[in-house]
Amino acid sequence: MKEIYVFGAGASYASGRTPLGDELGWSYFFDANSLYRMENGRPAIDDIEEKNIEFITFKKFLNLAKNIYPELREDEKFERALSRGEQYIPYNLDKRYYMDEMLRILYEKKDGESAKLIKQLVYEHIVESSFDSRNLLYNNFLNLISKYKVRKDITIISLNYDTLLREYFDNGIDKGIYIDYLVNFDCFCRKEYKYGNNIVPVIKLRGSLDWGICNECNNLSLFHWHLRRYSYDDRKCKYCNYALEPFIILPHEEVNKKIEVLWKKAARDLRIAKKITIIGYSFPPYDKKVIELFANSMNSDVDLEVVDNEDMNERIQIRRNEIQRNYKKMFPHLNKNIKVNLGGFEKYISDLEKKE
Ligand SMILES: [Zn+2]
């Protein structure tokens, strides 16, 4: 019986503290844990200069944000972040400042260079913030899978760029579970990646930070999951010596031909899946292609379970109704009721563990 797990940003946030929503991009400087050397109660000038070089992407990002949103020039905290290198941590930042909104504006302006900067920032922020996370939830999840793998045929579909699922593989070769990205890489940085026994396919529809693309010859390389913000600084294509970039497809961007095959494989698995569990992903309207993929591929008799978070008791029923209504609208062909579980990823895993 084919069973599919779909992971979105909410799952990686719960497992590895990867940034999401108003944090993504904006709290990068803070998350990279960079404290200034103080002098007379203020950050030392030379240290600010040093960090301006080290965090040049963040600085460029703040300047870009200022151009897109002129009102930020009025914000004293923002100006200080820019001129004196202080952190700028948003608190309940309005939705229009989120990365996906910024990207939408940039694509409308056809400003590819700035979109590339956002891509670099997203890369740096995710790898730096998940650097020393404990990542327990994904690990426990994969442990469970390896236990009941014999009974079930599992595919994971991930909308995330982070490498947290693979981290388990490299730390736990003896646990006997391996991840297969189902991509024909042109180049491997680690031979032992291919292949073990208990293989779980992980289909990453939007690419992954450990995949390096050459924009000259379109060759794709696979790197170790353990990345830092500077990891790509001197990575060159083996074939044409062009600089490699992390292969990620941002919202509003066209899917690269290189991974069209993954979308086909996802469609094939969605068609035969008896059960689909969606964790921390909400099918936002800008993910038109993903919504289409699920709408056109899911079997009408599939059992669908949605795992999400709602902390306020009095909101649980409202949220459940909202989610069910939204799913009915997106996927009107589904016959069965959609199960909504609002206890979050952590509780979902511990309930599964109890069942085993
Ligand atoms: Zn190349």
Going from the Cα of 259 to the center of ligand 1, the distance in angstroms, rounded, reads: 17
Residue 21 Cα to ligand 1 midpoint, Å, equals: 34
Query: How close is the Cα of 139 to the center of ligand 1, in Å?
Result: 34
* Model pLDDT for residues 264-290, shown as the tens digit of each residue: 999 999 999 999 999 999 999 989 999
Res 60 pLDDT > 70? yes
Q: Which of 116-130, 183-197, 326-340 has the lowest average pLDDT?
A: 183-197
- Reduced to 3 states (helix: H, G, I; strand: E, B; else coil), residue 52 is helix
Q: What is the distance between the alpha carbons of residues 298 and 288, in angstroms, rounded to a whole number?
A: 15
Please tell me the distance between residue 244's alpha carbon and the centre of ligand 1 in angstroms.
8
Alpha-carbon distance 23 to 124, whole Å? 13
For 234, the token pair is 């001197």
In contact, 285 and 312? CB cutoff 8 Å = no
Residues 6+ apart with CB under 8 A from 176: 146, 196, 197, 198
**Burial code of 169-181, b = ≥16 C-beta within 10 A, e = fewer?**
beeeeeeebbbeb
Domains (range + CATH), the chain = 2-17+134-355 (3.40.50.1220), 28-129 (no CATH)
Task: Give Cα 337 distance to the centre of its chain.
Answer: 28
Q: Of 42 and 61, which is predicted with more confidence?
A: 61
Q: Which of 150-154, 182-186, 334-338 has the highest mean pLDDT?
A: 334-338
Task: State the alpha helices, DSSP H only, in the chain.
Answer: 9-16, 28-31, 45-54, 56-68, 76-84, 99-108, 112-129, 136-148, 164-171, 260-272, 288-297, 316-330, 344-355
Pick 300 or 185 by higher pLDDT: 300
Per-residue pLDDT tens digits for 112-160: 999 999 999 999 999 998 877 888 899 889 888 877 755 568 999 999 9
Peptide bond just before 195 cis, omega within 30 deg = yes
Quote the ligand 1 centre to 212 CA distance (angstroms).
10
Residue 107 confidence class, pLDDT cut points 50, 70, 90: very high
* Consecutive H or E run containing 204: strand 199-204
What is the SS3 assignment for 157? strand
Q: pLDDT digit string (tens) for 207-265?
A: 999 999 999 999 999 988 889 999 999 899 999 999 999 999 988 888 788 899 999 99
- What separation in Å is there between the alpha carbon of 73 and the centre of ligand 1? 41
Calculate how far, in angstroms, residue 218's C-alpha sits from the geometric centre of ligand 1. 6
pLDDT average, residue stretch 69-91 = 78
Task: Report CA(238)–ligand 1 centroid distance (Å).
Answer: 7
